[in-house]
Structures are given as structure tokens and as C-alpha cells.
A = this chain, B = another copy of it.
Amino acid sequence: MLTETGTGTGTGAFYAVVEGGTVTTPKGFRAGGLHCGLKKNGRHDLGVILCDVPAAAAAVYTLNAFQAAPLAVTRDSIAREGRLQAMLVNSGNANACTGKQGDADALEMRSAMAASLGLPEHYVGVTSTGVIGEPLPMERVREGIAALPAQVHAGGGEDFCQAILTTDLVKKEVCVRVSVGGKDVYIAGAAKGSGMIHPNMATMLGFITTDALIEPADLQGLLSGVTNTTFNMITVDGDTSTNDMVVAMASGLSGGVALRPGDADWAAFEAGFRHVSEHLAKAIARDGEGATKLIEVRVNGAVSDEAAQAIAKTVVGSSLVKSAVFGTDANWGRLIAAVGRAGQPVNAETVDIRIGDIPVLAQSSPVRFSEEDALVYLQQDEIVFHIDLHMEQGSAIAWGCDLTYDYVRINAAYRT
């Protein structure tokens, strides 16, 4: 289940992956990025997604009690009309815990970008990622924002993707095509995030564009629902950032009539939207700081989906499980220990565990297995743990990564 399937779901709702697609593939979107001086390495640190028209907009925000200044600004913009035409992002500085100056700086970023693009302020959203607690060097940001419109172009998805990265090693983007009312509709996404990542949106930024014609409220409902089983089911280190946000913009330029939940093609659209979100979420987990492997935990037979989610997240977030995967050690005792401490109902007599296709625990008793087979499996770069509680029908999937020397190296030296 970890490989990219080109099309399809079990419900007859089909989508096709568009190779090389970016956030500017859906009709009406352009993007750009540049280096304004927030990152020391000379890489892009300021980017924008621009729509030809005010796009239906939806967003989900971190649950951290200390939300960074730009989140309030974006929330305010979307609240006015449910539309955004430009989404501005900087990396290298989170503008979080920066006091009243930080609030003022985020507002100034919005007004400067709006002026620079000739848009009403409330059609501009703002987001930031990087170090917490340091004031933004606003003179550089101002210059960057003034220069940004000249960098915006139809093929600018790649530049934008570069501008949102911090400790990420790779760009994360994906695009799918679905058919709605006989017309091609594109859904694309870009994301960043590799540390301070945990369920409920952690140093993670996601940008989803589509040319579907859809009402803001329907887009918000879709984004919120899909986020729960995708972006909120990943963890790198259990930390949740102050800055996380996923924003979706729908230009409506695919043509045709408005798409609504319950329509004949809604299932296909939702499946495509889910694919984009899941692809980005898994890409973030796979690129977790220092990670060498993607870990997928599948829980079945729990008393509810919520219980399954809690168990899956606990297992995939366990430092001991993560270290064992790094060490290619089939140490299933750490899996069962993590299941047991998730705070959810379990039957201590009925648990099955498989490492890939290798049964290691059946009805809570150890199964003799080939250590050699397990080693071969664990040397792959995508590891799946199957946990079946044999209680009710609750199920969930969570994604994470292994814990390595490099995670420690990266985070011991991040700021200095």
C-alpha cells in the first residue's frame, strides 16, 4: 500500500496521478520564489502562490496554544469572504512568540504583498516557518515582497516549492487529475516539514490548489475531514509547531457547474484530494529530520476509529520503535508495549502483530519467525507494521520515520 498507485480507489472513484504536476498545474495558478535574506544559505526563502481570480479558500491551523502571528492574519483574510488570491510564505523565520512586533510584521507582510500585487488585503494570506522567537528582519522582507511579483510565472511551482523548505531534504509535491461533469479537474499540492512534526499540524505547511469550482464552505469541510486522516496522522518527533497550516485554494477555472458533496463526481474529487493530502503527509514523514525509512502503522480491530488512531500514532511515535527500525531490529516487544500504553481499550489476549507479511505475535503470544527474513524486510526503506486487536471494527493508519543519529545532530545544532 505504500507504493504510488496511478489510479483508483475501491469505491469506483478514480483519479490519475499527473507526473511532474505542481501547484501551478490547476488552471489559474501561478507562483514564484526568491531569496530575500532570511536563510543563510542563499536559497529561496520567500514565495507566493497567485491565482488569476479570488479563489475559494479553506485552511486548518495548528492546535498549539501559541499560534504564530501570521496564522491570525490568514484566518482574518479567509474570514472576510472565504477567498484568497495570493498566499505568501517565508521560511527561515517563524515569526512566532515575537510579541506585538510580530503581529505588526505579519500584518505588514499582508498589506505589502497586497499593494505589490494590486489586490485587496483580505485576498492575501500569510504564513511563516523557521526559528521561533526572533524578530523578522523586515527590511529584507519588504524588499523581497516588492521583488516577488516579477518572479511569478506559470511554471513557478518549483520555485515556490523551494521557498518553503527549512531542514527538508527534498521537495514535496504532487498533482492528480479527476473528471468532474466530463471536464478535467486538477488538484495539486506542495508541502514542507521535517521536524517538530506531530499529529495536529506540526512545523508543517501544506498548500493545495485546484481548479475545481467549489464553495468555500464545501472546500473547508473537505479539507478538515481529509486532514484528520492524513496530515494529522503523521509524526516525526512528537512535537507540534506554533506555525502549522494547510491552506487550499480553488480557482473554479476548470469550467462546468459547481461541485457539491453528494454529486456524482464528488467521490472522485474527494479521492483525488485525499491522494494529494496523503501523498504530502507521507512525503513529510519520509523526509523527517534524519530519517532513513518511512514507517506505516496499520491498526485494525480497535473499538473505534479514534482508538485505532490513538494507538497507531502512539506506536509510530515511539522512540524505541523508531530506533529499532533504524537498527533493522525486529523488536516487536516495543510494538506491543507501545500499543499497551496508548490509553485505549485493548484485549491483552487477542493481539496479532505482523512486520510486513511476517507474523510475530498471534493472539498475544510470540510466533517463531525467521530473523533473517525480518532483517531483509526491515532493510527496505518503507516498513509496515500491522496490528490487529480483534475487538471491533475501528481502523487507522499512521506514518512516521525512524530515529537516527542525524535527527540528533540536526536538532542539537539547529539554531546555533
Contact = CB atoms under 8 A, between A and B. Distances in A.
B242 A320 contact: no
A23 interface: no
Nearest to A375: B416
B66 A339 contact: yes
Contacts of A338: 239
Given A99-B366, A408-B404, A333 B413 contact: no
SS of A interface (majority)? loop
How many copies of this chain does one complex carry? 2
A73 to B, nearest CB: 16
B333 A94 contact: yes
Contact of A65 (B97, B317, B329, B348): B348
Given A239-B318, A333-B97, A412 B341 contact: no
Given A346-B65, A348-B66, A366 B97 contact: yes
A403 B408 contact: yes
Chain A: interface residue count, which band? 35 or more
Interface string A220-254: 00000000000000000111111000000000000
Nearest to A362: B99
Contacts of A319: 237-239, 319, 407, 411
Contacts of A332: 132-133
Given A133-B366, A323-B407, A405-B405, A64 B329 contact: no
Given A238-B238, A341-B240, A336 B411 contact: no
A365 interface: yes
A132 B334 contact: yes
Given A66-B348, A196-B320, A348-B66, A97 B336 contact: yes
Interface in A94-113: 94, 96-100
Given A237-B320, A240-B341, A339-B65, A409 B405 contact: yes
A285 interface: no
Interface string A301-343: 0000000000000000111100110110101111011111100
Given A336-B132, A403-B408, A195 B326 contact: no
29 contacts: A65-B341, A66-B337, A66-B340, A66-B346, A66-B348, A66-B364, A94-B333, A96-B337, A98-B365, A98-B366, A99-B365, A132-B337, A195-B320, A196-B334, A196-B337, A239-B334, A239-B338, A239-B341, A240-B340, A319-B407, A319-B411, A320-B411, A323-B410, A323-B414, A326-B408, A329-B413, A329-B415, A405-B405, A408-B408
